[in-house]
C-alpha cells in the first residue's frame, strides 16, 4: 500500500495512542498504538547521529534527512509519539502528509505580451519546478531543462502524470510546435525539474521539502530565483509549525521568489463557509505569493474575465492570513501535452493541435503565470528581492472587477456565485507589463496581512437587491413636481406609480408589481429585521436629536424621533463607520432646512434609519442615509435625500425632490451579521500597519491600490465585512479538506 494512502487510512483507526500533546499535530491524535505512521520531526537544531539514534531506539526508520529544515522524515509506530515529543530537542511532530497538484489567451490576459517591448524573455533566470516531472518536448529543447532529479526513489524524471509538463509550458514553452501560438510567459528561462508527484499526481510533504532544499542548494549554480509549486494539501496547523511552510520560508530567506497555487476548493461548502477559508498549504504562508485562478472567457481582453468558482478563497484557516495575493488565468489553459500520461489517457479529448498540446484548468495553471512574470522582472532588474517582486506585482495588479459573477459547471450544471473581495482576488489580476514598468522598491517585508475579526463592531445592513432602489414602496408611489430619482423606483405589492412625468427616473427604471420588485421587498424585510435586531447599548436617544453630534454605533428611541436643525454624524476618521437608528414609532424632521450632516469620513451608504411606523422629511430637509419604514414615507417639498426611501407596506410620497442612491452602496453578498475585520501587516522595523482602503467584502474596491508595502503610509483602516457566513466558521474552525478533482482539472467551467 502506498505510504500516502496508508496515512489516509490510518486516520480511520480507533484506540488512542497518546493523549493530546502540544508538540504533536492534531491529525496524529487517535492513532492505534501499533499503527505505522510516516512523520516529519522538527528539531531546535540540525539533527545529528544522537537525534537519529533516539528515534531508531524507538523503532523508527529514517526515510529522508531534511537537515536544511532542522528536520527528518521517519516511519514509526504511533504509540511512541508522546515519548518522542517529550524530548527537549524536538519542536514539532507532524504527519508526512500527502500533497497533490492543483489542477494563448491566457498570456494576453495578463499583459504578458508587453515584455516583448522590453526585450524580456526571462533569459538567464532559473526556475525550479517542483511537480510531477517534465517530459521533453520541442517547446522545451535547446538546453532549457538544465537539471533533473526525482524525489520518489525511482530515478524517473519524465512526467507520467501529465501535470508538470503542462506547467513547464506555461512557465517557459517556446511555442515551437504551434508556430508560437502557445508560447509560455518567459520562454527564455532555464528550468530545474524536481519531480515529487507520481503518475497519479500524489506525493508527500517530505518529497516536496527535500526538493525545495535541493533548489536552495542549486541556487547559485543555476541562478534559481523562482520556485513554482503548483501543488498543495489541506492546512492542519499554523504556518509557523507546518514543516512544508517552514521549507518555503527557507527558500524565501535565501532570496528565492516562491509562487504557490491557492488550491481548487473554492466551491467547498462542507464547513458552511461558501468556499472561504479553503487556501491550501503552503499557500497559507504569508511569505509566498499565492495565486488564484481567473477565466479568460475565450478572449484576449481581461475586461470580460471572471474568477473561476473553484479558485480557493481566504482567509487562511488557523492564522487568518489574507490570501490569495494575486489571480491569474487558470481555466482551460492550453500548454504542452505529455504523451501517454495519466491525464491524457483519462481525457484524450482535451488534446489540442493533434496531440502537441493539452487543456487543463486549476490554480496549478495560474501559478506558473506568476512565476514566469517574476522571472521577467528579475531579468530586467536582477537585484530585486522576493518582497520587492511581490509588492510590485500586487501594487500594479489590474483591479477592475464586477461586484459578483455566476459560474456554471459544464458537467453538473451547478451554478456558483462569487464576490470580488480581498479574499477572492487578493490585490487583483496579474499585469506583467505594469509590473515591469514599475520602479518602486520596498525596504521592508511584503508579508500578506492578517485578518482580525472584531465581533463587536457593526457591519453595514445588507440590503440585497433593495440596494438598487432609490425609492421602494408598498402600496403606491406618488409624485408632485420635478422630482429626480437617481436609481430604480420600485413598488410591490401595489401597482400604482403616478407623477412620472413630471418626475423622472435616471440611471434606473420603474419596476412595479413583478418578480424583481417582490424580491427587493423581501430583501428589504430582511434588512429591516436585521437593523431592528442589532443590540442597542443605550442610553435611549432624546425625542429630538437636532444640535447633537453622534459617533458610530447603534442608537435607539422607543417612540418617536425628531430632528430640528442639524444632527452631525462623525465617522471619527473611519470611512467604514456604521450608524444604525432604531426608532419605535415615527421619524420626523422639522421644516425649513433640517439637516443630517456627515463628517469625519462618515458615508451615507453606511447610515440606516429603521422606523417602526412612518417617516416624514420636512420641507427643504437635507437628509443622509437609507430610511426603512414599516409603513409610509413622506418626502415633502424641496427635500434632498442622499440615500433611499424604502417603505415596507404603505406609500412613498414625493414632491419636487432629489433622491439619489449613495455612492459605494453595500449589498449583494448573502447573509446578515455584524463585525469588521482589520488587515494588519508589518512595516519597516516591525511596526504594525493597517491594510485596505474602504474595502467591503463583496465590494469592488481592493486594497493595495496606490501605496507600496513597507511604506509608512497606511493602506486604510478597518475592512468592513458585509457577510460573516464565512468568518463565523473560519475564526472558530480549522482547515477545510483540499485536493484537486479531475472534473475541475480537465473540464474547467463556463
Q: Could you list the active site residues?
A: 131, 163, 364
Three-class SS state of 689? strand
DSSP-derived 3-state class of residue 43: strand
Bond prior to 259 in cis (omega within 30° of 0): no
Would you state the cell numbers that stand for residue 633, as one nine-digit string? 414615507
Torsion of CA 557, 561, 566, 571, to 10 degrees: 30
**Cα distance between residue 203 and residue 210, in whole Å:** 12
Whether the CB-CB separation of 578 and 459 falls below 8 Å is answered with yes
Residue 400 C-alpha from the chain's centroid: 15
DSSP code of residue 176: G
Q: What's the CA gap between 185 and 432, in Å, rounded?
A: 9
**What DSSP string runs through 199-228?**
TTSEEEHHHHHHHHHHHHHTHHHHTEEEEE
CA 271 to chain centroid, in Å, comes to 17
Alpha-carbon dihedral sign for residues 80, 82, 83, 89? positive
The answer for residues whose C-beta is within 8 angstroms of residue 523's C-beta and 6 or more apart is 463, 464, 465, 466
N- to C-terminal Cα distance for the chain?
A: 38
Q: Which residues contact 681 (CB under 8 A, 6 or more apart)?
A: 447, 448, 449, 450, 688, 689, 690, 691, 709, 715
Alpha-carbon dihedral 621, 626, 632, 635, rounded to 10 degrees = 20
Distance separating alpha carbons of residues 124 and 249, to the nearest angstrom: 24
Q: Pull the grid cell for residue 314.
A: 481566504
For residues 704 and 630, give the distance between their C-alpha atoms in angstroms, rounded to a whole number. Answer: 41
| Helix (H), strand (E) at residue 366 | helix 363-380
State how far the alpha carbon of 428 is from the alpha carbons of 214, 219, 330, 339, 371, in Å. 32, 30, 14, 35, 16
Other CB atoms closer than 10 Å to residue 81's CB: what's the count?
25
| Strand, helix or coil for residue 670 | coil
CA distance 632 to 316: 46
User: Residues 249-279, buried b or exposed e (16+ Cβ, 10 A)?
Assistant: bbbbeeebbbbbbbbbbbbbeebebbbbbbb
Residues in the chain: 750
* Residues 261, 266, 271: CA angle, nearest 5 degrees: 120
> What would the DSSP string read from start to end of 631-661?
S-EEE-TT-EEEEEEEESSS-EEEES-EEEP
Measured distance CA(489)–CA(506) in Å, rounded: 10
User: Radius of gyration of the chain from Cα atoms?
Assistant: 29
Q: How far apart are CA 479 and CA 534, in angstroms?
A: 33
Answer left, alpha or beta for residue 625, where phi above 0 means left and psi between -120 and 50 means alpha.
left
Amino acid at each position: 500500500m502506498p505510504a500516502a494512502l496508508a496515512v489516509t487510512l490510518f486516520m480511520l483507526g480507533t484506540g488512542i495512542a497518546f493523549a493530546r500533546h502540544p508538540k504533536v499535530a492534531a491529525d496524529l491524535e487517535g492513532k492505534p498504538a501499533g499503527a505505522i505512521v510516516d512523520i516529519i520531526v522538527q528539531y531546535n537544531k540540525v539533527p545529528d547521529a544522537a537525534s537519529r539514534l533516539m528515534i531508531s531506539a524507538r523503532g523508527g526508520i529514517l526515510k529522508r534527512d531534511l537537515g536544511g529544515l532542522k528536520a527528518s522524515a521517519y516511519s514509526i509506530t504511533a504509540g511512541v509519539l508522546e515519548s518522542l515529543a517529550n524530548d527537549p530537542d524536538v519542536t514539532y511532530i507532524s504527519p508526512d502528509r500527502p500533497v497533490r497538484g492543483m489542477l494563448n489567451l491566457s498570456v494576453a490576459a495578463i499583459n504578458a505580451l508587453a515584455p516583448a517591448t522590453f526585450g524580456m524573455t526571462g533569459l538567464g533566470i532559473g526556475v525550479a519546478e517542483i511537480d510531477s516531472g517534465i517530459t521533453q518536448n520541442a517547446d522545451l529543447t535547446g538546453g532549457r531543462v538544465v537539471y533533473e532529479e526525482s524525489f520518489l526513489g525511482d530515478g524517473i524524471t519524465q512526467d507520467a502524470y501529465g501535470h508538470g509538463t503542462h506547467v513547464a509550458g506555461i512557465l517557459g514553452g517556446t511555442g515551437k510546435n504551434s508556430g508560437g501560438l502557445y508560447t509560455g510567459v518567459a520562454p527564455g528561462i532555464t528550468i530545474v525539474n524536481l519531480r515529487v508527484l507520481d503518475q497519479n499526481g500524489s506525493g508527500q510533504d517530505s518529497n516536496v521539502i527535500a526538493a525545495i532544499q535541493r533548489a536552495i542548494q542549486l541556487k547559485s549554480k543555476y541562478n534559481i530565483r523562482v520556485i513554482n509549486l503548483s501543488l498543495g494539501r489541506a492546512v492542519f496547523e499554523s504556518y509557523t509549525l507546518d514543516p512544508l511552510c517552514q521549507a518555503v520560508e527557507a527558500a524565501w530567506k535565501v532570496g528565492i521568489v516562491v509562487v504557490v497555487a491557492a488550491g481548487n476548493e473554492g466551491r467547498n461548502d462542507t464547513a458552511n463557509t461558501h468556499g472561504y477559508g479553503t487556501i491550501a498549504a503552503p499557500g497559507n504562508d504569508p511569505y509566498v505569493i499565492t495565486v488564484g485562478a481567473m477565466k479568460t472567457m475565450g478572449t484576449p481582453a481581461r475586461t470580460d474575465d471572471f474568477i473561476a468558482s473553484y479558485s480557493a478563497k481566504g482567509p487562511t484557516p488557523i492564522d487568518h492570513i489574507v490570501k490569495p495575493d494575486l489571480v491569474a488565468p487558470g481555466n482551460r489553459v492550453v500548454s504542452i501535452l505529455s504523451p501517454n500520461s495519466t491525464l491524457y489517457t483519462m481525457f484524450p479529448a482535451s488534446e489540442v493541435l493533434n496531440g502537441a498540446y493539452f487543456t487543463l484548468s486549476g490554480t496549478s495553471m495560474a501559478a506558473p503565470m506568476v512565476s514566469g512574470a517574476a522571472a521577467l522582472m528579475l531579468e530586467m532588474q536582477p537585484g530585486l528581492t522576493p518582497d520587492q517582486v511581490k509588492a510590485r506585482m500586487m501594487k500594479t495588479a489590474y483591479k477592475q472587477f464586477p461586484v459578483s459573477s455566476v459560474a456554471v459547471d459544464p458537467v453538473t450544471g451547478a451554478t456558483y456565485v462569487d464576490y470580488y473581495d480581498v479574499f477572492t482576488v487578493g490585490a487583483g489580476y496579474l499585469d506583467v507589463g505594469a509590473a515591469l514598468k514599475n520602479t518602486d522598491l520596498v525596504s521592508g517585508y511584503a508579508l500578506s496581512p492578517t485578518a482580525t475579526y472584531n465581533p463587536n463592531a457593526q457591519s453595514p445592513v445588507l440590503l440585497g437587491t433593495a440596494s438598487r432602489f432609490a425609492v421602494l414602496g408598498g402600496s403606491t408611489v406618488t409624485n408632485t413636481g420635478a422630482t429626480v430619482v437617481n436609481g430604480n423606483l420600485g413598488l410591490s405589492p401595489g401597482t400604482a406609480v403616478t407623477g412620472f412625468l413630471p418626475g423622472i427616473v435616471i440611471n434606473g427604471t420603474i419596476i412595479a408589481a413583478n418578480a424583481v420588485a417582490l424580491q427587493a421587498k423581501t430583501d428589504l424585510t430582511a434588512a429591516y429585521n436585521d437593523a431592528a435586531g442589532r443590540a442597542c447599548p443605550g442610553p435611549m436617544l432624546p425625542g429630538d436629536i437636532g444640535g447633537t453630534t453622534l459617533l458610530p454605533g447603534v442608537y435607539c428611541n422607543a417612540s418617536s424621533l425628531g430632528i430640528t436643525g442639524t444632527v452631525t454624524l462623525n465617522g471619527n476618521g473611519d470611512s467604514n463607520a456604521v450608524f444604525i437608528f432604531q426608532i419605535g414609532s415615527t421619524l420626523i424632521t422639522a421644516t425649513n432646512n433640517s439637516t443630517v450632516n456627515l463628517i469625519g469620513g462618515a458615508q451615507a451608504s453606511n447610515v440606516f434609519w429603521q422606523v417602526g411606523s412612518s417617516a416624514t422629511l420636512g420641507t427643504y430637509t437635507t437628509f443622509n442615509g437609507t430610511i426603512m419604514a414599516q409603513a409610509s414615507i413622506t418626502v415633502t417639498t424641496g427635500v434632498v435625500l442622499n440615500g433611499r426611501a424604502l417603505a415596507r407596506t404603505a406609500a412613498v410620497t414625493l414632491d419636487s425632490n432629489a433622491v439619489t442612491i449613495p455612492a459605494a452602496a453595500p449589498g449583494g453578498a448573502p447573509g446578515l451579521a455584524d463585525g469588521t475585520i482589520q488587515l494588519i501587516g508589518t512595516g519597516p522595523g516591525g511596526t504594525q500597519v493597517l491594510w485596505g482602503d474602504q474595502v467591503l467584502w463583496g465590494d469592488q474596491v481592493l486594497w493595495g491600490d496606490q501605496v507600496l508595502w513597507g511604506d509608512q503610509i497606511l493602506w486604510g483602516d478597518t475592512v468592513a465585512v458585509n457577510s460573516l457566513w464565512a468568518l463565523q466558521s473560519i475564526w472558530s474552525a480549522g482547515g477545510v479538506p483540499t485536493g484537486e478533482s479531475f472534473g475541475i482539472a480537465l473540464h474547467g467551467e463556463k
